[in-house]
């Protein structure tokens, strides 16, 4: 569990961009997280309320957008969505697969208020 370090990084990036934009406060934070990135939304939100106090981000709301994990089979080209378990290609059962999406771990955007 490294949610605290992750949350601190989100705060650093959000405050840096908010200052640059001369924001009075940040109201919303939009995160894009792939399914393969192991992070617990509730923990991040819990830490967020604590560490964002007395910063430009105080009282801002975190929004999580989850991106599904998509794999493509290198042998037959079948693209499939990974559910909870790691599974080989559903078409030809090959284990030669490549991740297409699901690695995302981005702070996508923020909404700010100005004077």
Partner 1 sequence: MAEKRIQIVENILNANDRLANQNRKRFDDARVYSINLMASPGAGKTSFILATIHSLLDTGIQIGVIEGDTAPVTIDSDKISAAGMPAVQINTGGECHLDAVMVENALEQLDLASLNLVIVENVGNLICPAAFNLGTHSSILIASVPEGDDKPYKYPNIYRGLEVLIINKTDLLPYIDFNLDYFREGVEMLNPGLITFSVSCKTGEGIDAWLEWLKAKIPEK
Residues that bind partner 1 (CB under 8 A): 1-2, 5-6, 9-10, 12-14, 17-18, 21, 23-24, 27, 31, 36-38, 74, 85-86, 88, 95-99, 105-115
- In the complex, least distance from residue 43 CB atom to partner 1, rounded to whole angstroms: 12
What phi and psi values does residue 45 have, to the nearest 5 degrees? -60, -40
Q: Which is nearer to partner 1, 6 or 52 (CB)?
A: 6
Q: Which is nearer to partner 1, 42 or 85 (CB)?
A: 85
Longest dimension (CA), the chain: 59
- In the complex, least distance from residue 107 CB atom to partner 1, rounded to whole angstroms: 5
- In the complex, least distance from residue 98 CB atom to partner 1, rounded to whole angstroms: 8
CB 10 within 8 A of CB 29: yes
The tokens of 83 are what? 């559910």
DSSP-assigned beta bridge partners for residue 73: 97
The tokens of 29 are what? 């934070």
């Amino acid at each position: 569990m490294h949610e605290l370090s992750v949350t601190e990084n989100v705060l650093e990036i959000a405050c840096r961009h908010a200052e640059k934009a001369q924001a009075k406060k940040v109201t919303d934070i939009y995160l894009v997280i792939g399914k393969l990135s192991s992070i617990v939304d509730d923990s991040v939100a819990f830490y967020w309320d604590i560490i964002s106090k007395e910063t430009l981000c105080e009282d801002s709301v975190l929004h999580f957008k989850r991106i599904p994990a998509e794999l493509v089979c290198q042998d037959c080209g079948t693209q499939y969505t990974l559910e909870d378990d790691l599974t080989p290609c559903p078409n030809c059962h090959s284990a030669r697969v490549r991740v297409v999406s699901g690695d995302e771990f981005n702070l996508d955007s923020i909404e700010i208020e100005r004077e």
